[in-house]
Amino acid sequence: MRFILTLTLGTNAIGALILFSISYLSFKALKMTKVRFFLFLFLGFSILGVDSFLKAVIFSILLATPAPRVVMYVSTLTLSILSTLAEVFAYILIALGYTDYFRSYGKLFLAAPIVPVLAVHLSGLIIAIFLLLYIVFQAFTAYVHSRKRNQLLVMVGFSTILLSRILRLIAITAFSDSLFIASNLVYFAGLLCFLIVVLMVTRSGKETKV
Q: What is the pLDDT of residues 19-48, one digit of tens each?
A: 999 899 889 888 887 878 888 889 999 999
Tell me which residue of 123, 121, 128, 126 sits closest to 91, measured CA to CA: 128
Range of the domain at 13: 2-204
Query: Is position 124 within any domain?
Result: yes
Between CA 58 and CA 188 the distance in angstroms is: 21
Q: How confident is the model at residue 136 (pLDDT cuts 50, 70, 90)?
A: very high
Query: Is position 29 within any domain?
Result: yes
Mean pLDDT, all residues of the chain = 79
CA angle 72, 59, 50 (to 5 degrees): 130
Query: What is the 3-state composition of the chain as percent helix, strand, coil, each rounded to the nearest 5?
Result: 85, 0, 15
Query: Is position 13 within any domain?
Result: yes
Q: Report residue 116 CA to chain centroid gap.
A: 19
Between CA 132 and CA 125 the distance in angstroms is: 10
Query: Is position 174 within any domain?
Result: yes
Q: How confident is the model at residue 123 (pLDDT cuts 50, 70, 90)?
A: low
Query: Is position 149 within any domain?
Result: yes
Give the total number of structural domains in the chain: 1
Query: Is position 57 within any domain?
Result: yes
Between CA 66 and CA 71 the distance in angstroms is: 10
Task: Decide: pTM greater than 0.75.
Answer: no
Residue 206 pLDDT more than 60?
A: no
Query: Is position 209 within any domain?
Result: no
Lowest mean pLDDT: which of 19-28, 70-79, 193-202? 70-79
Tell me which residue of 59, 45, 65 sits closest to 10, measured CA to CA: 59
Between CA 17 and CA 31 the distance in angstroms is: 21
Query: Is position 72 within any domain?
Result: yes
Q: How confident is the model at residue 75 (pLDDT cuts 50, 70, 90)?
A: confident
Residue 8 pLDDT more than 70?
A: yes
